[in-house]
Amino acid sequence: MTIKRTSVLILAVLFIICLNVYGAPTGKKATNIILMVPDGTPLSTVAAARIYAYGPGNGRLHLETLEQIGYQSTHSRNSVVTDSAAAASAWACGQKFNNGEISFHRETKKGPKTILELAKEMGKSTGLVATSTITHATPAAFASHVPSRKCEKTIAKQLITSTGVDVLLGGGLGNFKSTEEKKDKCGTWGDFIPLAEENNYKIVYNREEMLNAAGEKKLLGLFNPKGMTPVFQKETGDPQNREPALSEMTRAALNILEQNDKGFFLMVEGSQVDWANHQNNLVYQIGEMLEFDRAVKVVLDWADSKLSRKAHTLVIVVPDHGCGGFAIKGPYGKTFDKPGVYIEDGWVSKVHTGEDTIIWSQGPYSEHLGKAIDNIDVFHIMKAAFMGAAYK
């Protein structure tokens, strides 16, 4: 009896220690939502990256280990084939938009609140990370409202003033510092860096500065005048390694956002998988896809580090659309076991394609993503997860 009681006591003490260290899962509500977007990525791109990384049958990408798998239809309001603006706006707002619109309906000159804006109203922190300009279509849709994706200077101003996103990391310095000759389609131009400083942003311009900014509350990282240097060009395009990798930007964002006990919304985009597919460039594609997957690993490791964190974090990995009609056409009639071998690629076009895209997810409400849905449903599921509301 004494031995039994001692064992029970030891287990109880260990349980209390675990609770103190990791926290306890308490219900289904999502405190954090992390939406990760490999832009323009059909399933064949995932397979090609996996084969390169592991060989045909020796492993899985980190994104493939998430618990739920479903798929979404992607059409926009005015086209069977969407662009990134309409697709991201559908996720952000739960409505269909015309191609080119950024969470804004041109005919009504209005746009509904985005999931990021709703998160801010709940007292949560917010972040956007991308390898394109941070004012590009996908990140822009979550934190701005403009009639055209070409209004990138207007978007830049809205990100730091109207919305005040806590963490902004990516390219696009040229859209925050421009002259009248470089005004955008909405007629906006100017130097918004002093405006960002007035709004309490720490401004960083390179990898080292970003890594030293972990204790900041608000961070604006602009690492390239345009989009960031592609992974496969890093040695020649960024020889001093001044630009952070997507995985490093993701870790930096989490370091800041996790300080808020009320939680956060974070969108991470591997923007240039799409750009690679537009160019029908396999080497470019694989480099971007594998770096995006390293960012997924950063997120999963962060979530796994505490039981309560994992229990209350909804992670969603979903491409906005396909691009290039990419296919694996070989090698046919032979295989190989070693990693580091490129498949033989085939392409249909150099533009977006209209196929459904896969959704990988885990965490609260992810069961609603593990089936056939439309892209607008992603918003409603995220909103329900934040509110702990019933979802059908």
Q: What backbone torsions phi and psi does residue 69 show, to the nearest 5 degrees? A: -130, 125
SS3 track for 306-321 = CHHHHHCEEEEECCCC
The pTM of the full predicted model, rounded to 2 decimals, is 0.92
What does DSSP assign to residue 112? P
Q: What pLDDT score does 215 carry? A: 87
Pick the catalytic residue from 73, 76, 79, 84. 84
Predicted local confidence at residue 82, as pLDDT: 98
Would 57 be classed as within a structural domain? Answer: yes
- Number of compact structural domains in the chain: 1
The predicted pLDDT at position 337 comes to 80
Q: Is 349 a catalytic residue?
A: no
Amino acid at position 104, single letter:
F
For 168-214, write each residue's pLDDT tens digit.
999 999 999 999 999 999 999 999 999 999 999 999 999 999 999 98
* Domain, as residue range, for 360: 34-330+341-387
Residue 26 lies in a domain: no
CB 204 within 8 A of CB 248: no
376 falls within a domain: yes
Cα-based torsion angle of the residue sequence 191, 174, 258, 380 in order, rounded to the nearest 10 degrees = 100
Give the 3-state secondary structure percentages of the chain, helix then strand then coil, rounded to 5. 40, 20, 40
Task: Tell me if 23 sits within 8 A of 309, measured CB to CB.
Answer: yes
User: If the chain, 392 residues long, is cut into consecutive pieces of 10 residues, what is the mean pLDDT of each piece?
Assistant: 51 43 55 98 98 92 98 98 98 98 95 97 98 98 98 98 97 97 95 97 98 94 97 89 96 98 98 98 98 98 96 98 97 88 96 98 98 98 96 83
The answer to whether residue 16 sits within a structural domain is no
- Omega within 30 of 0 (cis) for the link into 331: yes
The whole-number pLDDT of residue 5 equals 56
Identify the pLDDT of residue 86.
98
CB of 378 closer than 8 Å to CB of 36: no
Give a yes or no: residue 279 inside a domain. yes
Contact in structure between 318 and 360 (CB atoms under 8 Å): yes
Residue 179 lies in a domain: yes
Q: Is residue 9 part of a domain?
A: no
DSSP 375: H
Comparing C-alpha atoms, which of 179, 139, 175 is closest to residue 156?
A: 175
- Distances from the Cα of 56 to the Cα of 60, 313, 338, 347, angstroms: 10, 32, 8, 20
pLDDT at 57: 83
**Spatial separation of the C-alpha atoms in residues 17 and 329, rounded to whole Å:** 54
Contact, 318 vs 358, CB < 8 A? yes
Tens digits of per-residue pLDDT, 238-266? 888 899 999 999 999 999 999 999 999 99
Q: Assign 323 to helix, strand or coil.
A: strand
For residue 124, how far is the Cα from the chain centroid? 17
* 3-state DSSP assignment of residue 114: coil
Residue 180 lies in a domain: yes
* Contact criterion met (CB below 8 Å) for 25 and 308: yes
The domain that holds 59 is classified in CATH as 3.40.720.10
